[in-house]
Amino acid sequence: MGSVAVLEQSLPEDPAARRRRGIPRGAWVGIVPFTLYVLVFLGGPLYEVIYGAFTTTGGSLTWHNFSQTFSQPEYRSAFEESLKISVVTSLLGGFFGVWLACAVVTAGPRSPLRRIVGSGAGVLAYFAGVPLAFAFIATLGRYGEATTLLGHVGIDLGASGFDISSLTGVELAYVYFQVPLMVLLITPALEGLRPEWREAATGLGASTFGYIRHVAAPVLAPAILGGLLLLFGNAFAAYATSYALVGIYVNLVPGWIQQLISGNVLVDENGIGLALGVEMIVVIAVVMVAYGLLQRRATRWLR
C-alpha cells in the first residue's frame, strides 16, 4: 500500500496558508535531503522503467513492448480485472467506511467508540499484503479458526460455497483494508460539518433529507470522491494480498509485471513488464491529479 503514502505526500498545500505564514529565505536548503532522496529512489527507478519500456535489450528505440500490451488479450484482461477489483472494493470500502465514520462522528468527540475506531483504523488501513492474506487463511480458510468454530455450530462454510481462495476472497481481503482507510480519509471532512449549519437549515424549515441533500452532500461530495479515488489507487497498486491468496488466478496487472520481470519461466520479456509498469504509472498519475483537484474543493469548507 505504498501508493497511499506517496499520494499523501502530494496533498496540495493550501496557498492561502502559505501566504499567511510566509516562507523565510533559504528555507529551500531544508528540502535538499528530501529532494535528493526522491531523485535517487523515485526518479532513478522511474527513469529505468520508462527507458526500459521504450527500448529493446540492445538499446534501440521500440514501440513493440507497448503494442504487445495492447494486442495480447491476457494483458488487456489483466487491466480489466485490475480496474474491476479496484472499483468494486473502493465502492464497498467507501460505502462502509463513510457509514462507520458517520456513526463514529455522531458519537461525539469523547466517546470511547471514537477513540477505538480511530486508532483501529489507523492500524488496519495499513494491514495488507502477505500477512493479511495468511490472516484470512488462518481465519476463514479451509481449516481456519472461524471455519472450524462455525463447523461446531453446524454451519459448513465450505458447503455453502464460500472459498477464501477465490475472487470473492480477494475482494473481501481488500475491503478489509479499504474500509479503515476510508474512515481515516473521511473523518476530518465529517468533523468539518458544523452543527450550526444543521441548526440553521432546520431553523429555516429544512427536513433531515433536505439538509443532507442541499448542505451536507454538496460539502462532502468532493471529499468522498477524493477518498474513493485514493481507495482506487490503493487497490490498483496492491498485489501481494491477492498473490498469496490465489496466485495469479485473479489476473492483475502487477501480477503480470512480477511474472515478466522476475519470473523463472518467461525469459526475456522484461520490456513488456516495464511497459505495463508505465501504463500503471499513467493510471495512478491521472488518479492523483484528479485527487488533487478534488482535494482543493474539499478543503474549501473545512478551514
Partner 1 sequence: MSSDHRQPAKRTRGMALAVVVAGTLAIALAASSGAASGATNWSTATSATSGGGLSALIKAAKAEGTLNVIADPKNWADYGVEISTFEKLYGIKVNDENPLGTSQQEITAVQDLGSQSRAPDVVDIGQSYALANASLFAPYKVAEWSDIPAANKDPQGRWWNDYGGYVSIGCNTSIVKVCPTSFAQMTNPEYKNDIALDDPPTTANSAFSGVWAAALANGGSLANIQPGITFFQTLHHDGNFVETPGLPAAIASGQTPIVIDWDYNNAAETGLNKAKFKWTVAIPTDASFAAYYAAAINVKAPDPAAARLWEEFLFSPKGQNIWLEGYARPIELPTMIKSGSVNKTFEKLLPPVAVAAKYPTQAQVTAAEALIAKEWAASQS
Q: Which residues bind partner 1 (CB under 8 A)?
A: 40-41, 44-45, 48-49, 52, 73-74, 77-78, 129-130, 134, 137-138, 141-144, 158, 163-166, 239-240, 243-249, 251, 254, 258-259, 261-270, 274
What single string gives the DSSP state of each residue in 13-79? P-HHHHHHH---TTGGGGGHHHHHHHIIIIIHHHHHHHHHHHB-TTS-B-SHHHHHHHH-HHHHHHH
Question: What phi and psi, each to the nearest 5 degrees, are found at residue 206?
Answer: -80, 145
Least separation in angstroms between CB 181 and partner 1: 18
The span from the CA of 170 to the CA of 175, in Å, is 9
Least separation in angstroms between CB 288 and partner 1: 19
What is the end-to-end Cα distance of the chain in Å, rounded? 29
Q: Give whichever of 62 and 270 is closer to partner 1, judged by the CB atom.
A: 270
Q: Give whichever of 65 and 295 is closer to partner 1, judged by the CB atom.
A: 65
Half-sphere exposure of 140 (CA within 13 A, CB side): 17
C-alpha grid cell for residue 211?
439538509
Q: Give whichever of 226 and 255 is closer to partner 1, judged by the CB atom.
A: 255
Least separation in angstroms between CB 45 and partner 1: 5
H helices present in the chain, as ranges: 2-9, 15-21, 32-38, 44-54, 64-71, 73-106, 112-124, 130-140, 145-152, 167-192, 195-203, 208-211, 217-237, 240-246, 253-262, 270-298
C-alpha grid cell for residue 122?
489507523
Q: Give whichever of 280 and 294 is closer to partner 1, judged by the CB atom.
A: 280
Contact present, 114 and 226 (Cβ < 8 Å): no
Q: Give whichever of 49 and 220 is closer to partner 1, judged by the CB atom.
A: 49
Least separation in angstroms between CB 277 and partner 1: 9
Number of residues written out for the chain: 303
Least separation in angstroms between CB 49 and partner 1: 7
Q: Give whichever of 100 and 260 is closer to partner 1, judged by the CB atom.
A: 260
Least separation in angstroms between CB 267 and partner 1: 5
Q: Give whichever of 130 and 302 is closer to partner 1, judged by the CB atom.
A: 130
DSSP 8-state secondary structure symbol assigned to residue 300: G
Least separation in angstroms between CB 256 and partner 1: 9
The span from the CA of 80 to the CA of 34, in Å, is 36
